[in-house]
Chains A and B, each alone.
Chain A
Amino acid sequence: METNYQLKRADFIFKNENDWKEVLKKNINRPPHELINELISSELKGRGGAGFPTGLKWKLSAEVKSDIKYVICNADEGEPGTFKDREILSLVPFKVLTAMAICGHVVGAKEGYIYLRGEYFFLKPELNKAISEFEHYCKEINLDFTIRIFMGSGAYICGEETALFESMEGKRGEPRNKPPYPAISGYMNKPTVINNVETLAHAYTIFTYGAKRFYDLGVQYSRGTKLFSVSGDTPKPGIYELELGMSLTDFVNDFGDGDTKAVQVGGASGFLVPRKRFAETTIGYEGKLIGISLPTGGSMMLFNSSRSMFNVLDNYLEFFREESCGQCTPCRVGCQQLLKGIKAVKTGEKNAQHLDKLLRLAETMQFTAKCGLGQSVANSFSSIVENFREEMIY
């Protein structure tokens, strides 16, 4: 591996230096409020992309009175350019299971589910093996907590938490109206904590080493480390754990091929950052350009000068057109109009001013779509069209 570390690499997630059984036993004997405070003081934010404070999420659910509550691990990793959750589940599944059980202890839930995307079916046998070993140990220490895998069947939108509940309830994966929020009314209308795979893995780190160790990494508002899925025009595609708060220039220096034209931060629903803005862009939850957006986390796709940004956008929009659940107008029709619109401009059927109309449409989608999918189409659309307008026309 390269040695020029401008980027602060870290190795928590995939390191298996301690015994999950010890971590579990230690933590389920701690009072819930103490665990919540630990998580809150770590400032861990959701690693699925939306960045909601994890400690607060657990706290809200813990405060609701209900006989039945659920803990759900969101493993519906479908954002283009994201592949880190698969790696976590195949390499360190016990960290995720342990964090789920601790969460169950904190909020008062006895049932956990892993919603695993259909594309990752091949993970299921090994994961089930891990679960039975895990449950066996839970019984040994008298912890009443079960975990089941629920398989998805090829629908990106099910990564949206309320769509995921609908899917688990045997329905079309259509996002619900919010409020109510999952902490109050989630799966089966019961209080539900739903966390991304990586978030749970970080929670494990925090409950193993304490909040401070995590908090001391990263920068203000963006504490800790994050897994990045690096792909595209890079000599070393793969999964990397890095401290948050890095500048995109540093990232490209390390991962670029010397000819990086733009980086797509956060997958198809994230932002495209052109070369001229690398220096001013930091990767974290706050910054000049927030590079993380729902429903992804840590997708970094690099494009060099051989790539047509029109083709890139065309590919994204095809994706959204198909993967929109189709229920709300702005997303269902908006995606079709954006896609047909850029093609019409490219072929000259519409003049270049049509791009401005489409930018305004994208903004309306952001304001009015029912869920994160439709709202975030504008991220990539606007950042590509604004920065590479000439490529859209000629």
Chain B
Amino acid sequence: MGKNIKITINGEVVEINEGTSILDAAHQVGVIIPTLCYHKDLCVAGNCRVCVVEVAGQKRLSPSCATPCEDGMEIYTNSVKVRNSRKHIIELLLSEHNADCTRCYKNGKCELQKLASDYKVMTDDFIPLVPFKHYTIDMFSPSIIKDDSKCIRCQRCVRTCAELQGVNALTVAYKGDQMKITTFFEKAMNEVVCTNCGQCIIHCPTGALVERNYIEEVWAAITDKTKHVIVQTAPAVRVALGEELGFEVGTRITGKMVAALKRLGFDTVMDTDFTADLTIMEEGTELLSRLKRALVDHDPEVKLPMATSCSPGWIKYIEHMYPDYLGHLSTCKSPQQMFGALAKTYYAQARNLRPENIVSVSIMPCTAKKFEANRPEMHDSGYRDVDYVLTTRELAIMIKQAGIDFMKLNDMKFDRLMGESTGAGVIFGATGGVMEAALRTAYELVTGREVPFEGLNILPVRGMEGVKEASVLIEKPLKEWSFLDGVTLKCVIAHGLVNAKKVMDSVISGEVNYHFIEIMACPGGCLGGGGQPIPTSPEIRAKRAAAIYAEDTGMPLRKSHVNPEVLKIYNDFLIKPLGEKSHHLLHTTYTARKRY
């Protein structure tokens, strides 16, 4: 960064690093400037013009997000000129926007609505433009609904899809009054290369991009007395749901969430963490068996590195972008789908329920899970394994609809059989978590000793670096794993699909030799998922991650292979990892898809 310079903001002298944007400088001294196209996760666009400020001596106003401070600048953020212009711009955006706010899914959560409210836009000077545009709503994706009539062309979604995800499902097309956010040849979202990750949704300021919600369907199932409704909750939900219900970012509300789900009327409330632990058993065993085939059998067919398969956004990404490398994916289903397959088999048998009467619901930080549950192969129980996927946000809506005073709830515990979890299952919600959980278990299976990291905390795999590498030297393994003696297990972790591309390209080029790859589609991992509370930012994700690791540390059991319910299911039902039943219920196949 450059030298320190002095500027004044609304008369107050501020010392600041040269090159700091006016917006950042103002925020540092407690002056709030409204923004729309600006987002901390994204490059600066400077196109909405809501954040304009007046710089003394200049006739034109400057976009504070895109204007670097210069020494001696006199900045006014609330002059008459600024207020009038800003209000005009908000009015213009509203004239182009389908402002049918009371019927909007984002009602109360819309950044444009908030600006209209803050600036008291109460006139209708401008002519509504929406009736001239012949918009249609794209509802073809099982995950994402795109309604152009609510789009304000801030391009946050386009930048998200390109910069964070490298997917480019969305693009800006045409110019002038025809300019719009669309896909290749304006196809429906389900027909283009889209991973359903939902990052566009959590970066959209309005209701133009929202999740396809299944709230009414779930209410109907709960109300139907003939149905036994089982719900599972993903690890990342418990560190974020509170944000929607009045808690500070980073508050853990696991017990209240369970209580709320019971009050909502779910018959059984269990935990995806359980199948996260189970995933570790299956995936860890799969990794070791691949290593054995490679190192002992010298099987040329074995695919290493092996990549995790928990993130359905990542799965669809690799199916589109690297269809020749699907063999590198672990065949393990995601914890959600393992849970679904077991709910209608193992759980049904144990509780003497007819699987056709079970409705299986999952609460996920994710919109891609909606697509995953909808995949045709996910019927291994003989039924659709997961019937409805709700995002963290949808659950919050249901809790509010039911009139539950969330803050006053007493903590409750998950129901048994598939409700027990360990800290290893919890950290699935953060980038690096699957890797850490896998290492905790695999290292111990191989050596009989705990991973050589203090307090089981494998710090190199944690944190928000886009690509993280870690290696673990295996020494003095148990006799059965002697072929791993002296092997340094090389791992890499990526989150955000743009980082997935980096890792895949380096693997393909052969410049690195990893054994195990963890990839999560969303920045920060599931805690930053497309189904999580809005807004998101690096700071918010860091707080959620801290909460996840606190949850892990606070648990009595922190290794997947010691989860008593995991031990029980192998004993009673699955027999052994990668066994016949596992193969049938817990593993899956992938589909090569079109790159273009």
Contact = CB atoms under 8 A, between A and B. Distances in A.
Interface of A: 155, 157, 172-173, 177, 179, 320-330, 332-337, 340-341, 344, 350, 354, 357, 360-361, 364, 366-370, 375
B175 A330 contact: no
Given A177-B46, A337-B127, A361-B88, A332 B176 contact: yes
Contacts of B88: 330, 360-361, 364, 368
Contact of A367 (B59, B68, B172): B59
A330 B49 contact: yes
21 contacts: A155-B175, A177-B63, A322-B178, A324-B176, A327-B153, A327-B179, A328-B47, A329-B50, A329-B89, A329-B93, A332-B153, A333-B92, A333-B93, A336-B177, A337-B127, A340-B127, A361-B88, A366-B60, A367-B60, A368-B52, A368-B88
A350 to B, nearest CB: 8
Contacts of B125: 354, 357
A36 B398 CA distance: 71
Contacts of A340: 127, 129
Contact of B175 (A179, A323, A336, A364): A323
A354 B174 CA distance: 30
A156 to B, nearest CB: 9
Given A321-B177, A335-B176, A337-B127, 15 more contacts: A177-B44, A320-B176, A322-B175, A324-B179, A325-B179, A326-B178, A329-B48, A330-B92, A333-B96, A333-B129, A341-B126, A341-B127, A364-B88, A367-B52, A370-B63
Contacts of B127: 337, 340-341, 344, 350
Given A330-B49, A368-B49, A336 B63 contact: no
Contacts of B93: 329, 333
Given A328-B49, A368-B60, A334 B66 contact: no
Most buried by A among B127, B175, B179: B175
B374 interface: no
B285 interface: no
Interface residues of B, number: 38
A367 B177 contact: no
A322 B176 contact: yes
A332 B177 contact: yes
A325 B174 CA distance: 8
Which of A177, A323, A368, A370 is the most central at the interface, judged by chain B CB atoms within 10 Å of its CB? A368
A368 B85 contact: yes
Contacts of B96: 332-333, 336
Contact of B177 (A327, A335, A341, A360): A335
A374 to B, nearest CB: 9
A372 B49 CA distance: 15
A338 to B, nearest CB: 10
B84 interface: yes
B89 A325 contact: no
Q: Which 9 A-B pairs have the closest CB atoms?
A: A326-B179, A333-B92, A177-B66, A364-B88, A327-B47, A177-B46, A324-B176, A322-B176, A340-B127
B43 to A, nearest CB: 10
B81 A330 contact: no
Contacts of B155: 327
A321 B129 CA distance: 13
Interface in B26-66: 44-50, 52, 59-61, 63, 66
A260 to B, nearest CB: 31
Contact of B174 (A179, A326, A336, A361): A326
Interface in B98-156: 125-127, 129, 152-153, 155
Contacts of B50: 329
Contacts of A329: 47-50, 89, 92-93, 152-153
By CB atoms of chain B within 10 A, which of A333, A337, A350, A361 has the most?
Answer: A333
B95 interface: yes
A208 to B, nearest CB: 37
Contact of B61 (A333, A336, A360, A367): A367
Contacts of A337: 92, 95, 126-127, 129
A334 B125 CA distance: 12
A344 B95 CA distance: 15
A179 B49 contact: no
A173 B85 CA distance: 26
Q: Determine which residue in B46, B67, B127 has the highest number of CB atoms from chain A within 10 A of its CB, and name it.
A: B127
A369 B49 contact: yes
Nearest to A340: B127
Nearest to B179: A326
Contacts of B179: 324-327, 332
A370 B46 contact: yes
Contacts of B92: 329-330, 333-334, 337, 361
Contacts of A375: 60
Contacts of A328: 46-49
A179 B95 contact: no
Contacts of A327: 45, 47, 153, 155, 172, 179
A375 B52 CA distance: 14
Interface in B158-210: 172, 174-179
B19 to A, nearest CB: 10
Nearest to A178: B66
Interface string B70-106: 0000000000010011001100110110000000000
Nearest to B58: A367
Contact of A333 (B44, B59, B95): B95
A375 B95 CA distance: 20
Indicate the member of A324, A328, A350 with the most B CB atoms within 10 Å. A328
A323 B85 contact: no
Contacts of B49: 328-330, 368-370
A364 B126 contact: no
A16 to B, nearest CB: 39
Contacts of A320: 176
Nearest to A337: B126
Contact of A322 (B68, B85, B177): B177
B75 to A, nearest CB: 15
Contact of A325 (B44, B60, B129, B175): B175
Contacts of B89: 329-330, 364, 368
Nearest to A326: B179
B205 to A, nearest CB: 13
Nearest to A321: B177
A344 B127 CA distance: 9
A369 B59 CA distance: 12
Contacts of A321: 176-177
Contacts of B152: 329
A340 B130 CA distance: 13
Contacts of B81: 367
Nearest to B96: A333
Nearest to B60: A367
The CB with the most chain B CB atoms within 10 A, among A179, A332, A357, A367, is that of: A367
Nearest to B97: A333
A1 B67 CA distance: 52
B184 to A, nearest CB: 15
